[in-house]
Every structure is written in structure tokens, then in C-alpha cells.
Structure 1
Amino acid sequence: MSAARYDFAGRVAVVTGAAGGIGRAICDAFAASGARTVNWDRVSGETASPRAPRHVAVDVTRPETVEAALAATLEAFGRIDFLVNNAGFAGSTVPLDAYSPAEWQRIVEVNLLGTYHVCRHVVPVMRETGAGRIVNVASLAGKEGTPNASAYSAAKAGVIALTKSLGKELAQAGVLVNAIAPAAVDTPLLAQMSPAHVQTMIDKSPMGRLGTVEEVAGLALWLCSDSCSFSTGATFDLSGGRATY
């Protein structure tokens, strides 16, 4: 088998939450295909690699930091071709009535409102250019609802609905907007969940394993490539066969 190859030379990819995990894998894949990459995150992550993305400090729950990051990115690169909204926070895995209101709200703020804040600032740039790709990292939890993860499930369901709405809004603007709905992926984010919760997710997969960050990155790059030309407002499952609709 051979993996797809892309030529993104001259393109600029912004990935939120790219200090590690899925976001960093997506940045690495873009860089390997010739794109210049920018990590919008609160922390820079590992920077020793020659392909390390440029870090611009961003807290996606604070729109003023997104606005500043956009200005800094445009000053440095002059354009944004691809935006991947990956920043996420899983929070606790407990029954709904056991969540503190503050944590429930924080999960929604990072996953859903963070995606909104970033899109609100980047979309006008892409609309003016008449081209662009936006990929929102949702979750199978947003489609199926995961027990003891009500806030995360609700937030990611919101990301899926936002993707559908924004995809329709921009359908004739040259900007495609799609989402990826992974099942459990082997990242540090799983450390926020109980081992029993993670094992339950694995057991639900017909393939009987976690997904990899490279597999998520591969789908993200296809969605940003010219090979994806007639899909917008769609959600692409990445679940090892677990997704049922």
C-alpha cells in the first residue's frame, strides 16, 4: 500500500492545539507536504524538529488572543489557506449531575466556543481570498453521545452542527468546511479519562483498537486537498467501523 501524496508548497496551514497529539501530527503532515505551518496554542510543544510549526500563543476561549494571532500570522505569511480547529478539552468522565457547572462550561467553551471564535476571525480572510479549507475536529461522541461525557458530547455535537451551517454559508465562496469525527485516538487527551472509560471505547470498535494521530492527519490533509472538491458541511467518520450513521 502507499499513502496519498500532496503538494502544498506555498500554502499556509493554521492548526489550533498543535503542541502535541492530533494537532501536532496534522502540522507534521502538512509540513511534510511542503506547507508552512502555524500552531495556535497556549504552549509551543516540542520545537526541536526542523518541521516544527511556528508557535503563536492563543487561548481559543479568549477571542482577543485569536485576533492577535491572526494579525501575527498574516504579517508573517500573508495568507491562511487551511484552518484545522483541533484544540480540545475532554474533562472528567462522570455522570451529568456529578459535573461542576464550571467544568461543564469550560468543556463547552474550549471545544465549541473556541471553534466559533477562531472561525469568526479566519473566515473573513478566506472569504476575501475566495479560497480556503476549514476542518473541524469533532468526535464520534458528538454523533452518538458518550455516557459520562455529557459536556464533551454536547460540545462536539455543536461542532458538527456548526460545520453543517458554515459549510452551507460558504458553499459558493470557494471555502469548504468539513468535520472529522474520530472515535478514541491514542493521544495524551485520553489521560484525562478513566482507564475503564477508554477501554469501553476500544471495546466498541469492530477493529478493536485505538485510532492513530497519523490516520486523523491523513484524512485532514485529504479534506484540504484539491481532491476534495464537492464535499462541504459534511462529517467524516474515523471510527474503525464503530459509527452507525
Structure 2
Amino acid sequence: MRRASRSNLILLGLVVLLGLAAWWQVEREVAGFEPPLSTLDVAAIQRVEVSCAQCRRRVFERDGAHWTMREPYLLPADDAVVARLLSIARSPVRRRHALDAFEAAKVGLAPPLMSLDLDDEHFDIGLTDALGGDRYVRTGDRIAMVPDRFSPFLVAAPESELDRHFVPRGSNLASLRIDGKLRADLVEAWTDAQATRLVADTDAGDAAAGTPVELQLGDGSKVEFTLVADTDGVFLLRRSPRIRYMLAPGQAEALLGTSIPASP
């Protein structure tokens, strides 16, 4: 017993030492950073634009306290996703260089692999440094070496950046029809419900077989879905634009108030 206790104490001590070493390394690294990439007040930004060589261009605009995607969809955006894009402006910089310190084409800046526009401030993002893994970021008349903790945000699928609620943010669900029948008893269940994730619909077919759902909004507009169950799971397929709102296990039954009809 004593031997086991002693071994546990030794292991605990090693874990603590490793934790302290990791903390010291991070603190040492941060202490060596230069000022952030930009001095922008991200809370005041009104427009965000993202472009890259192998992704779709996306444009977001502030709408009061929230964000709306303007391209490639005209739909409410996920505010947390836009906040991540805005945070890139405050990324720590390991060091800065003059523009002529590198051959732009060799570091992925001519043309840039990715670009980010926050209002009138432009950032070109290139390759990563082979040694440190830092991104080459051109802003103004300097090239900054920035620890790459942000590039996945820039190449995200636009569908993943949309608000996941079925009822558009700020809208009132006036009535609900499921398979042609009014379901006032389920309006509350639909009002705050949201998908687990959104993905593009790659099915080239004109229409999916399933249960039609119509959301009539207070402003007179409507949103139409088809509830589909297939090998990819259970999802609500938005009629326009065609986006799959993937559902959690059991969520479809709660939204329909019954079991899921089998889709052919």
C-alpha cells in the first residue's frame, strides 16, 4: 500500500512538473510576441469578407446586434462564427518584416491563398513557415508572422457559418403546417429549435421524398422544408436555398409529434 501511494505521489509530481513546464513555455512564447496583427476595434466592424483560392467567397454584414450572411446566401449568420473571424485581427504576431523580405509568390502571397477584409482593412494570408508553422500575413506595408490558430475559420463551408435555427432569428412563427395539416400544438417546439449542423445539399434531384413542412412567419413570408430520413441521417431539407439542417437523434419525433415516416 505504501509503495502504491508513493508511486501515485511521484506520478502526481511529474504531472504537476509537466504542467508547469508547459505553462512556462506558453508564457515565454507570449512574452516574446509583438503587438497584435491590427489595432482595429472589432466591436465597430460592420462588414466582413472572406476569400480564398479553394473556398467560396463569403460576405457578412452587421445587422444590429447580430450578423447576416450576404454571400453566397442571404440568411442570418452564426454570430459566434463571425466573432471568430473578427478575432483574427487581434492575433498575436511573432515578428514583422518588410514587404521585400520575402518573395511573395514563394510564401503564398502572390496571389494570396486567403484574404480577409474587415471594413476597409485588408489582410492577405499565405503559406505557413516550414520551421515555426507561422502564417505569412500581409497587412499594409508589412508581412507579419502569425501563429496559425485561425486558418480553418477562413476555409469553412458557408453552410457551417449560418444560424442553425429553423425559424429565422427575430421572426415570429405565426403558423406551422406538417404534411399539409395545421399544427398549432407544435409551434412552441419549433420556435427555438435548431439543427446540429448545416451542410449543402448535393443531391441533383428536383425534390426530396419526405414529409413537407411549412413555416408561416408573422411578416407574411414562409420557409419550406422537407423532412427526410436516409443513409446520411434525419434532416430538414430547406427548399430554397437547398441546405440540409441535420437533426439530433430523437429530434424529428419531437418536431413532428409522432414517429418518423420512412422515406422511400
Q: Same fold (TM over 0.5)?
A: no
Q: Answer 1 or 2: which has greater helix percent.
A: 1
**TM-score normalised over the length of structure 2:** 0.20
**TM-score normalised over the length of structure 1:** 0.21
User: Larger Rg: 1 or 2?
Assistant: 2
Q: Answer 1 or 2: which has greater strand percent.
A: 2
